[in-house]
């Protein structure tokens, strides 16, 4: 299928042949008939991408700061990779479309194949022939629905949330500042509600269109003399009951004009992207005005549980969610109460989408709504997309499932360049990511089908997906007789661990988990210096806080931070002392959300060694992340953030300082591939993998049962 993409670095825009997006649990696959270009949001995105690097830096100072933070923490190599990945990625455009359902994901009951639907959401309702959308960002339409009008779904729900925030009654007056697409739709919704509407815009053409089609009752160009007096006259001296700012500007003028034209105790709603540093006197303070923000489509927006997992809010407590806003907007269109026909000032075939965006960026002529029309009679192939002509087979033939930031920065760049190593296929959630990764790292094809990657062409599978799918893909890979490299954690439940263990022991393939820290040069150096006597180890991790509503903290999706991350540190202590854990206990500092991510793990190892993992989410970000101390036989060794090793004892202190941080990712990938090439044992024994995974489960059990120690039963 084809999709419009743009590179942030060069601004290059193209229609690409890509694999279908993945249809996850609670999602529907939709063939677009129309999508709408937002001149404001998308126009600014496209314009920013076309600027020079200096121009981009000036526009996004926060991201520049992040680059320097990464440079300080991880060094130039990782920083360079992160920047290149960002600049060279194929970015998706679009967030409002309509079409027909062609497939449904697990757990979906409210849609069926063939349904007409309207779709919303950046990253979902893209300018593409086929999109995959969560059920709470998709609404069913009637059979008679006009899909071009329905494609305004996202813009309509954004405008509706602004109108709801204004909380107006029949006969009241609202001033709409900014007569672009959002301003027009807001005005139409207000008029359909029996509200008097006065529009203001800096462009005469926008004002004339609004008056011509009676979108507003009155409208003025911003520089109209005595504009405040005119609005006072139009409202019988009362002023506007509410003001909706639908403009996009860096100027303070809209917020100050809103204060001037609003009545005393009135409401100002910020719908567009404007600064809010209003002048306190004479209007805002003396009128006791109320400022409200309209958050996109409405309640549920940016809520992971609602949007990603499909958990709805009870209607008795949240009457108008983002999905219910979308449904209400579609009903108004269907009943003819909101007429969008004249808002589509331009229509382009999807093949001509780059020219449509040239119009948006250049503003060479007046436009409001720009619709992209798709050829729905065209046959769309689901065959793998061939990217590079290269060796189809090698002694090690690698495919990747999941190619997010970590994989692109730490796994893919470290695959050895060897004639014996073939790069076969790539599969990611989005076709744009799959295609770009396949191009950049020289894989033969990208696909949306697991079967293509589990075929006989692949003998080695790298899995770098979200945590909740690790076990699923490991099991599928082992059943397909593949060597497996999986990012940590191996799995999220004890049942999954036992199922994987049974399959692994029954087969003859390697299974490796991405416990990279044991491969760091500093770890190897430390292990040599401290020897193998029973030792006491302290591992402090200044992990930093992660919001409760991210997938990492979700027990079902990420496993929480103990299972998702602490397994790393359990493995490293296991490697350093050369012995498996025998018992583990855990105690956590209470937190408001019950996340248990400021936790101390105490481990007893079979050879008498002890280890303490102090995993803290409540520390300062100015402190380095990882600090390790090892005490053994009169020797003390310290690793500082995998940049420096110091060893005390036996004479003059030993010091090994690296130019930049090295957590062993390159060495780990190299060791794994080398073991396959030489048909030798996996670099990490399955006993160690099993023990680290089991210990993370037992630490959770300890937390749940008063911090009592639990045995870590060996394989």
- What are the start and end residues of each CATH 3.40.50.720 domain in the chain? 167-293, 385-513
Split at pLDDT 50, 70, 90, the class of 41 is confident
> H-type helices in 33-124, by residue range?
41-49, 53-59, 61-88
pLDDT at 362: 79
Split at pLDDT 50, 70, 90, the class of 715 is confident
pLDDT at 361: 82
CATH superfamily assigned to domain 167-293: NAD(P)-binding Rossmann-like Domain (3.40.50.720)
List b or e across 591-611, with b for residues whose CB sees 16 or more CB atoms inside 10 angstroms: eeeebbbbbbbbbbbeeebbb
pLDDT in tens, 138-182: 999 999 999 999 999 999 999 999 999 999 999 999 999 999 999
> H-type helices in 117-264, by residue range?
147-150, 153-166, 181-192, 204-212, 227-234, 253-261
pLDDT in tens, 325-364: 999 999 999 999 998 988 998 999 999 999 998 888 877 7
With beta carbons less than 8 A apart as the criterion, state whether 218 and 208 touch. Answer: no
pLDDT in tens, 475-532: 999 999 999 999 999 999 999 999 999 999 998 899 999 999 999 999 999 999 998 8
What is the four-CA torsion angle of 95, 101, 107, 109, rounded to 10 degrees?
A: 110
pLDDT in tens, 216-236: 999 999 999 999 999 999 999
Minimum mean pLDDT among 123-132, 313-322, 362-371: which range?
362-371
Cis before 282 (ω within 30):
yes
Cα separation, 637 vs 649, in Å, equals 9
Does residue 61 register a pLDDT over 80? Answer: no
With beta carbons less than 8 A apart as the criterion, state whether 199 and 174 touch. Answer: no
Does residue 374 register a pLDDT over 80? Answer: yes
> Which tokens is 439 given?
């191009």
CA distances (Å), origin 427, targets 29, 431, 570: 17, 8, 30
- What are the start and end residues of each CATH 3.90.180.10 domain in the chain? 2-152+340-373
Q: How many CB atoms lie within 10 A of CB 50?
A: 17
pLDDT at 551: 86
Split at pLDDT 50, 70, 90, the class of 55 is low
Does residue 129 register a pLDDT over 90? Answer: yes
Q: Strand 240-245's sheet: what is its strand order?
A: 218-221, 196-201, 173-177, 240-245, 262-270, 290-293
Q: SS3 for 702?
A: helix
pLDDT in tens, 256-297: 999 999 999 999 999 988 999 999 999 999 999 999 999 999
Split at pLDDT 50, 70, 90, the class of 74 is low
pLDDT at 363: 76
Split at pLDDT 50, 70, 90, the class of 90 is confident
pLDDT at 58: 53
Q: What is the CATH number of domain 2-152+340-373?
A: 3.90.180.10
Mean pLDDT, residues 554-561: 90
**Helix (H) / strand (E) containing 711:** strand 710-711
> Which tokens is 410 given?
């730490």
- What are the start and end residues of each CATH 3.30.360.10 domain in the chain? 516-711
Split at pLDDT 50, 70, 90, the class of 8 is confident
pLDDT at 56: 46
pLDDT at 577: 97
| Domain 516-711 of CATH type 3.30.360.10 | yes
CA distances (Å), origin 397, targets 9, 146, 391, 423, 484: 32, 49, 9, 6, 12
Fold adopted by 385-513: Rossmann fold (3.40.50)
Could you tell me what percent of the chain has a pLDDT over 90?
79
pLDDT in tens, 632-641: 999 999 999 9
Does residue 57 register a pLDDT over 60? Answer: no
With beta carbons less than 8 A apart as the criterion, state whether 39 and 181 touch. Answer: yes
Q: Which residues contact 528 (CB under 8 A, 6 or more apart)?
A: none
pLDDT, mean over the chain:
91
Does residue 54 register a pLDDT over 60? Answer: no
């Amino acid at each position: 299928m084809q999709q419009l993409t743009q590179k942030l670095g060069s601004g290059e825009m193209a229609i690409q042949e890509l694999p279908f997006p993945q249809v996850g649990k609670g999602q529907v696959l939709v063939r677009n008939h129309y999508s709408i270009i937002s001149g404001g949001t998308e126009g600014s995105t496209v314009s920013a991408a076309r600027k020079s690097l200096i121009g981009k830096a000036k526009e996004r100072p926060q991201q520049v700061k992040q680059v320097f933070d990464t440079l300080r923490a991880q060094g130039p190599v990782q920083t360079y990779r992160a920047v290149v990945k960002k600049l060279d990625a194929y970015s998706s455009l679009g967030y409002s479309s309509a079409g027909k359902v062609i497939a449904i994901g697990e757990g979906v009951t409210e849609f069926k194949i063939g349904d007409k639907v309207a779709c919303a959401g950046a990253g979902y309702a893209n300018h593409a022939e086929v999109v995959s959308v969560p059920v709470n960002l998709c609404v069913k339409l009637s059979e008679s629905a006009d899909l071009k009008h329905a494609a305004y779904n996202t813009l309509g729900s954004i405008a509706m949330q602004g109108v709801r925030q204004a909380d107006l009654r029949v006969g009241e007056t609202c001033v709409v500042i900014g007569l672009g697409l959002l301003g027009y739709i807001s005005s139409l919704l207000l008029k359909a509600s029996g509200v008097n509407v006065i529009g203001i815009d800096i462009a005469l053409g926008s004002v004339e269109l609004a008056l011509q089609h009676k979108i507003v009752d009155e409208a003025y160009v911003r520089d109209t003399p005595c504009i405040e007096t005119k609005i006072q006259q139009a409202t019988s001296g009362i002023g506007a009951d509410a003001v909706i700012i639908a403009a996009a500007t860096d100027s303070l003028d809209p917020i100050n004009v809103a204060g001037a034209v609003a009545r005393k105790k009135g409401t100002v709603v910020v719908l567009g992207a404007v600064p809010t540093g209003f002048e306190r006197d004479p209007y805002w303070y003396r009128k006791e005005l109320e400022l409200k923000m309209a958050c996109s489509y409405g309640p549920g927006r940016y809520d992971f549980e609602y949007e990603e997992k499909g958990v709805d809010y009870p209607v008795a407590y949240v009457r108008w969610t983002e999905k219910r806003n979308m449904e209400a907007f579609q009903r108004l269109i269907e009943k003819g109460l909101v007429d969008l026909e004249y808002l589509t000032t331009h229509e382009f075939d999807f093949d001509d989408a780059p020219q449509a965006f040239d119009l948006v960026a250049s503003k060479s002529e007046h436009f409001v709504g720009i619709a992209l029309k798709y050829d729905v009679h065209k046959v769309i192939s689901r065959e793998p997309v061939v990217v590079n002509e290269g060796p189809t087979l090698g002694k090690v033939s690698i495919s990747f499932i999941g190619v997010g930031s970590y994989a692109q920065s730490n796994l893919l760049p470290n695959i050895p360049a060897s004639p014996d190593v073939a790069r076969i296929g790539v599969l990611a959630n989005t076709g744009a990511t799959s295609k770009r990764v396949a191009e950049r790292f020289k894989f033969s094809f990208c696909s949306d089908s697991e079967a293509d990657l589990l075929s006989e062409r692949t003998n080695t599978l790298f899995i770098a997906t979200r945590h909740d799918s690790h076990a699923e893909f490991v099991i599928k890979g082992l059943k397909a007789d593949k060597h497996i490299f999986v990012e940590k954690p191996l799995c999220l439940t004890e049942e999954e661990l036992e199922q994987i263990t049974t399959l692994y022991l029954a087969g003859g393939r390697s299974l490796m988990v991405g416990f990279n820290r044991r491969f760091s040069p500093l770890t190897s150096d430390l292990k040599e210096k401290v020897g193998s006597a029973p030792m006491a180890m302290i591992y402090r991790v200044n992990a930093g806080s992660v919001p409760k509503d991210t997938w990492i903290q979700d027990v079902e999706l990420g496993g929480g931070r103990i299972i998702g991350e602490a397994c790393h540190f359990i493995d490293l202590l296991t490697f350093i002392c050369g012995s498996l854990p025998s018992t583990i206990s855990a105690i956590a500092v209470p937190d408001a959300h019950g996340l248990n991510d400021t936790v101390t793990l105490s481990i007893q190892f079979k050879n008498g060694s002890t280890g303490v993992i102090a995993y803290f989410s409540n520390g300062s970000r100015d402190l380095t992340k990882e600090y390790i101390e090892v005490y053994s036989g009169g020797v003390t060794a310290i690793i500082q953030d995998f940049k420096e090793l110091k060893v005390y004892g036996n004479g003059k202190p030993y010091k090994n300082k690296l130019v930049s941080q090295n957590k062993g990712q390159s060495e780990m990938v190299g060791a794994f591939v080398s073991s396959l090439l030489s048909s030798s044992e996996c670099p990490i024994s399955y006993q160690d993998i099993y023990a680290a995974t089991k210990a993370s489960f037992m630490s959770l059990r300890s937390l749940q049962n008063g911090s009592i120690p639990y045995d870590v039963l060996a394989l």
